[in-house]
Structure 1
Amino acid sequence: MDSDKYLEGQSMQRSPLFESNGFIYWKNRFETYVKSKGLDLWHVIIEGDFVPIQNNSKTKQSEAVPFEKQNDDLKKRLAKNNEAKMVIYNALPKKEYEGTFMCNTEKEIWKTLLITHQGNSQVKDKKIDILVQQYEQFVISKDESIDSAFARFNTIITSLKALDEGYSSKNYVRKFLRALHLKLRAKVTTIEELKDLTSLSPDELIGNLKDSSDEESSTSGSEDEEYAMAVKDFKKFFKRRGRFVRQSQNDKKIFQRSRDDKNSKSDRKCFRCGDLNHLIGECSKPPRDKNQRAFVGGS
């Protein structure tokens, strides 16, 4: 990286070192750093130098003030111009410095860096269109972790912000919730019911989703363990009682056959005398007529 070319032992208070391969990342960090040093510095970089002009109390008009007539407040204000330029130069390697050396103001330096590494307005608009499309089509797969999904999502929204384009925090939260897989729909419903999405930040959303996942995993693991123990005890019980169960089933079948035989015997009787203890072929009582004898013999 370009930052590797810098001398070691640099103060932690210096500007974030320029990275040509990660311009958007550097740009965001640089802006935050400059604003932490003073909002006047960032104003100079974006809007241009402060100029030695004051209102004339007599003419009521603005006019240039020569150096010898500048008061201390105006001099301090004008000093912000060089301070802002030094902040930028401290962040640039030699190659980038040479590319901006002909710029007269901090605003010109900043604009040159943006065009060189971010493109002109047309290129910028094209990049924005691509990122917006990625944002609108963002989805989370079934097996993707919350951390991995948010890392992809954060790259998109950070890139949009670096191009001065973006959505509200509320929009980010709702978009991420809609992108979650259907298996997490119960969690989404819970969050929507318990949280105020208008004030919920993306980081807080991720924390809630991860907490919910941890609780679900813990509960699921406990339930699985209880189920496994129940199945184990169930098998042990039937292993000990298997013989008794089989014997009971066999006894039931024997009892049923005995009952069926008894019922079938109770339904049979002699057609000649009506006795239940024998059939007509074993009856000793003589038939009433020849036709009945013939019928019995035929039978």
Structure 2
Amino acid sequence: MVEKSRAEWSTEDKKKKANLDNVAKDILYKTLDVNMFSNIKTCFTAKKIWEKLTQLCEGNDQTKENKLTVAIQKFDNAKMKPGEAMAEFDERFSNIICEHISLGKIYTNHEIALKVMRALPREWDVKTITMRESKDLRKLELYDLFSDLKSYEFELGI
């Protein structure tokens, strides 16, 4: 299918295009909160709205680089807090990983597993050593790792 140039558009084509733009704008409007809407209310086409939202949410290349730097620092500094339950640490750590993914930084299962194990307090050393020796960390998914750790936490009554 070959798309017509703008000069070749009929009145009907123009109406269809305008209607599609209105539908797209309506969808975007309905998904935005009041603060975000105020940032895009001067945009007249769905494409302009989308470009503005992308700029606001993702920023320019420098902003993306800064966000990634901060996210990497969070990853590097992640430690299980004293008194923190494994479920809480799982949620906090998973959020850090999701942030990395959204910024285009992907870690291997092995890197993630080692980081989680290093982030645990000394009381967990026996479990982490056992896991390193008995499991293939390259294939160990984050969900499975935390499931094992939660089971161990339950067994210990921590």
| Contact preservation (8 Å) 1:169, 1:202 | no
**How many Å apart are 1:132 and its aligned residue?**
0.9
- CA change 1:155–1:80 in 2 (3 A) is same
**Alpha-carbon deviations, 1:182-234, whole Å to 9, x = none?**
3212212333344443333222211110101222339xxxxxxxxxxxxxxxx
**Residue in structure 2 matched with residue 134 of structure 1 by the alignment:** 74
**Which of residues 89, 96, 99 in structure 1 aligns to 2:39?**
99
CA–CA distance in structure 2, aligned partners of residues 198 and 148 of structure 1? 24
Structure 1, 133-142 or 98-107: larger mean CA deviation: 98-107
**Greater helix share, structure number:** 2
Which residue of the partner structure matches residue 151 of structure 2?
Answer: 211
Deviation digits for residues 44-94 of structure 1, max 9, x if unmatched?
xxxxxxxxxx43xxxxxx643635797xxxx7x997655443321111245
Structure 2 letter corresponding to 1:167: I
Q: Normalization by structure 1: what TM-score?
A: 0.42
Partner of 1:167: 106
TM-score by length of 2: 0.71
- Aligned pairs for 1:87-126 within 5 A: 87-117=27-57, 119-126=59-66
- The equivalent of 2:84 in structure 1 is 144
1:158 aligns with 2:98: yes
Contact 2:117 2:128 in 1 (8 A): yes
Q: Counterpart amino acid of 1:109?
A: I
Alignment of 1:5-84 (within 5 A): 54-55=1-2, 63-64=4-5, 66-67=9-10, 82-84=22-24
Q: CA RMSD in A?
A: 3.4
CA offset at residue 135 of structure 1?
0.9
Look up the match of 1:26: none
Q: What is the SS of the residue equivalent to 1:88?
A: helix
Inter-partner Cα distance in structure 1 for 2:26 and 2:108: 34
Return the index of the structure with the highest Cα Rg. 1
SS at the partner of 2:157?
helix
Look up the SS of the partner of 1:110 in the other structure: helix
Aligned equivalent of 2:26: 86
Corresponding residue SS for 1:131: helix
Separation in 2, partners of 1:187, 1:118: 40
- Cα deviation for residue 131 of structure 1 reads 1.6
Aligned length: 153
Confirm or deny: 8 A CA contact 2:86 2:153 kept in the other structure.
Answer: no
User: Structure 2 regions of 5+ residues with no counterpart?
Assistant: none
Q: Residues 116 and 212 of structure 1: is their aligned pair in 2 closer, same or farther, counting only changes over 3 Å?
A: same
Q: Which of these residues, 116, 120, 125, is aligned with residue 180 of structure 1? A: 120
Map Cα deviations across residues 72-123 of structure 1 (whole Å, 9 max, x no partner). Answer: xxx7x99765544332111124553343133344343233224335543323
Find the aligned partners of 1:198 and 1:82 in 2 and give their Cα distance.
Answer: 48
Call closer, same or farther: CA 1:188–1:79 in 2, change over 3 Å.
farther
- Map of 1:271 onto structure 2: none
How far is the alpha carbon of 1:146 from its aligned partner? 1.5
Determine the C-alpha separation between the residues in 2 that align with 1:134 and 1:105: 38
% identical equivalent positions: 25
What does residue 202 of structure 1 align with? 142
Partner AA of 1:110 in structure 2: W
Q: What residue identity is the alignment partner of 1:132?
A: I
2:24–2:46 Cα contact (<8 Å) kept: yes
